[in-house]
Amino acid sequence: MHQVERALFDIRRGLPVLLRDADGPCLVHPLESLDDTNLATLAERPDAPSLVLSRHRLARLGHPIDADGARLALTPALCRDTRRLNALAFGLDRVEALPELHPAGQAERAALALMRRALLIPAALTTRIADDERPGIEARLASGELLAVGAAEASRLLDAAPGMLRRVSEARIPLAEATESRFILFREPDGLREHVAIIIGEAEHWPSAVPLRLHSACLTGDLFASLRCDCGEQLRNAVAEIAALGGGVLLYLAQEGRGIGLANKLRAYTLQDAGLDTVDADQALGFGEDERRYAVAVDMLAALAIRRVQLLTNNPVKIAALTDGGIEVAERQALYGRLTEQNYRYLHAKAHRAGHLLDEVLGDHRESGRA
């Protein structure tokens, strides 16, 4: 396992990681797991740590920037205030006055990439290591207590690793909507995410443009039939439609909450209950409007020798991603779930903020007088 992949597990456990860039070593602490004791220790350093936030979060705070993110020079008092730091990182309120902002450098950008890949809030505290601290840091590295990774390598975590996806296992799984189905599990190189290709019917009987659905995992909708989204119904409708078309493939991708993970998705739901739409809620947490990556889907299709598809989707981004990956999208077919009072705001935001093709279903809703 590469060092950066091991570092992801430390980050998820709340442990600091050492990043190396041209400016020297930089210790990165995930903000999500810092408590008062950790902060008090950091506040005692000769140089106070910096808070690193993404450009999405800064825009929600009323401070848009051109860089990917920025570091905020913290005062000792602010460094000791866990509540205030958390409010800066993922609170609702805008802030008129922020600590001094500096565009994110290589280490700060790498810190944000680590947090995103680890499915944590994209916010971290960073501290530069002074010369007199280096012997102690080297001793911690030698003992294995601390991991060091290159900032450049960490920054590439969000990029795909072409050809590195591993086919792990498979089994026949008859489904209610498609009794002739087989599941094939694929694992990403760092081991954090597993994706499933659901093979419906026999490949020799498939249409020349293979019916295909890319479905991002949604625990609340797929398993518990949440009314906040239409994901569960889209999933089951997709399986039934692919079977009716003569068979094809559904790729079930481990990209919960448009790629931000279940913990952050639940945080976003809480922000939505306070009045934000789904896009603004994700951005308030520091994420972009859609953090998903579809290169893994291209790799799965390559492993299945599929190059031409009929795509079941309302999302033009998926069409573009497959096309860019060398997959011919011969046709698009709309796929809807049931519209409810609970999911109308969500679908409206997807259509009007993220460009999803939902005019037909949302038009029906407006005509019914329920909008």
Active site residues: 290, 292
Task: Note whether 202 and 247 are within 8 A (CB).
Answer: yes
> What span, in angstroms and rounded, lies between the C-alpha atoms of 315 and 313?
5
> The tokens 């900032």 sit on which residue?
151
Q: Which amino acid is at 274?
A: A
For tokens 């039939």, name the residue.
225
For residue 363, the tally of other CB atoms under 10 A from its CB is 11
What are the residues whose beta carbons fall under 8 Å from the beta carbon of 127, sequence distance 6 or more?
26, 27, 29, 42, 45, 47, 49, 50
Question: What does DSSP say about strands 69-73 and 328-333: parallel, antiparallel, or unpaired?
Answer: unpaired
**Tokens 């922000």 sit at which residue?**
271
